[in-house]
Chain A
Amino acid sequence: MFAAENGLKGDPRLQAISNAIRVVPHFPKQGIMFQDITTLLLDHKAFKHTVDIFVERYKDMDISVVAGVEARGFMFGPSIALAIGAKFVPLRKPKKLPGEVIAEAYELEYGRDCLEMHVGAVEAGERAIVIDDLVATGGTLSAAIRLLERVGAQVVECGCVIGLREVKGQLRLNGKPLYILVEPREIDGC
């Protein structure tokens, strides 16, 4: 669900966030209009709004785990975790985490990739959210959800700053609610 349709209609913070995102055409390849959040991170007010909106949403939901997907999920997840008093759990590409891990493979457009989580980071019964900068096909987020569920956690929601068209009509991912702040920017609207 989009924040604007779910309680935040007309909230000026959403416009500020959207305005701060830069579109980079043809990255990483032709035809892709890449939604660059690094410009959002340069705008302190808009970056703070982003974190605040997620914190307001999750702070009274008894969330004890914020999982963030490498690497842009690391830019948003920890601040949310700190504000709501939850642990932060990084979900990483293979061979980055030093301890014992569980791994979940997922499909890419061409080929497969893998997400890992430390064994013991999350306990059965914990309520978790997954944070990333953007959801496109939902493949990575689905893998993240599966990792958390495999250790018995309850994934309450996935939160993303940007949600691409493919997910617009989709309220849920693997049956989990999806909460998105803004739609992608168009190049002409920058």
Chain B
Amino acid sequence: MSAYRDKDPRIHGIQSKIRVVPNFPKPGIMFQDITTLLLDPKAFKDTVDLFVERYKGKNISVVAGIEARGFIFGPPIALEIGAKFVPLRKPKKLPGRVISEEYELEYGRDCLEMHLGAVEPGEQALVVDDLIATGGTLCAAMKLLERVGADVVECACVIELPDLKGRERLNGKPLYVLLESH
């Protein structure tokens, strides 16, 4: 589901603030840079508002954000909807006891961790990140939450790269994005 297709009038302003940086981190990749969106207070606020309007009052008690750009969007959403914020981090960053989930990268593997005790069974959760590409990281995030018995209601991203078919890797979980980039 995409706000872009729903043609909310705020979308155009948000899209215009995202900068594409060619050949980062390597040749051939057109990197979607959201830092320029963060420089526009109105567009940044609109971005958060669109998610808050969707999720407020829906009994969501957990917003999980993926390091590091998920930490920029997740907490404002969590604060507005009355949920806790749970950071999902690269290995060895979280100081307490963690559970880990490995996932595939283009070359090699990586790992996402969550603190034990942060989320309780039965909690309704969102996973937030700036962008979904192949869906590998989001999938690992969902697994972490499900392993502790939470119910992942939806994954929410600012941008989707539909050509990479990340949506299909979410095991049928809904995905909500504001923008698509082809």
B31 touches A75 (CB 8 A): no
CB pair B96–A22 under 8 Å, yes or no, is: yes
Name A75's contact: one of B24, B33, B41, B75 (CB within 8 Å).
B75
Cβ < 8 Å to B, chain A residues 91-113:
92, 95-99
B68 touches A74 (CB 8 A): yes
Within 8 A of A (CB), among B77-124: 78-79, 82-87, 89, 92-96, 115, 118
Residue of B nearest to A65 (CB): B39
A2: CB under 8 A from chain B? no
| C-alpha spacing A105/B31, complex, angstroms | 26
Q: Which A residues from 45 to 100 make CB contacts under 8 A with B?
A: 47-48, 51, 70-71, 74-76, 78-79, 81-82, 85-90, 92, 95-99
- The answer to whether residues A82 and B87 also contact, given A87-B38, A98-B33 and a CB cut-off of 8 A, is no
Task: Evaluate whether A97 and B35 lie within 8 angstroms (CB atoms) in the complex, with A34-B95, A43-B84 already known.
Answer: yes
Beyond A24-B96, A27-B95, A98-B24, is A79–B79 a contact (Cβ under 8 Å)? yes
A9 partner residues in chain B, CB cutoff 8 A: none
* Contact of A41 with B by CB under 8 A: yes
- Give A92 to B95 CA distance when docked, in angstroms: 20
State the Cβ distance, B138 to closest chain A Cβ, in Å: 18
Q: What distance in Å separates the Cβ of B76 from its nearest Cβ neighbour in chain A? A: 5
A residues less than 8 Å from B84 (CB atoms): 41-44, 47
Give every chain A residue within 8 A of B44 (Cβ-Cβ). Answer: 78, 81-82, 87-88
Q: Does A36 contact B (CB under 8 A)?
A: yes
Q: Is there an interface contact between A48 and B86, defined as CB atoms closer than 8 Å?
A: no
Q: What A residues does B115 contact at CB under 8 A?
A: 38
Contact of A41 with B35 at beta-carbon distance under 8 Å, contacts A27-B95, A99-B21 already known = no
Q: Does A176 contact B (CB under 8 A)?
A: no
Q: Would you call B68 and A42 a contact (CB within 8 A)?
A: no
Q: Please state if A78 and B72 are interface contacts (CB–CB under 8 Å).
A: yes
Alpha-carbon separation in the docked complex, A24 to B85 (Å):
19
Chain A residue nearest to B31 in the complex (CB): A98
Contact B96 A36 (CB under 8 A): yes
A28 at the A/B interface (Cβ < 8 Å)? Answer: yes
**Are A99 and B68 in contact, CB atoms less than 8 angstroms apart?**
no
Fill in one digit per residue for A7-38: 1 if any B CB lies within 8 Å of its CB, else 0: 00000000000000010100110000010101
A118 contacts B by Cβ under 8 Å? yes
0/1 interface trace, chain B 28-51, chain A, CB 8 Å (1 if under): 000101010011110011001000
Query: Are A47's CB and B79's CB within 8 A?
Result: yes
17 new A-B pairs (CB below 8 Å) besides A41-B78, A42-B85, A96-B68? A38-B86, A38-B87, A47-B79, A74-B68, A75-B87, A78-B72, A79-B75, A85-B41, A87-B40, A88-B38, A88-B39, A90-B68, A95-B25, A98-B31, A99-B21, A99-B35, A118-B35
Q: Which residues of B contact A (CB under 8 A)?
A: 19, 21, 24-25, 31, 33, 35, 38-41, 44-45, 48, 67-68, 71-73, 75-76, 78-79, 82-87, 89, 92-96, 115, 118
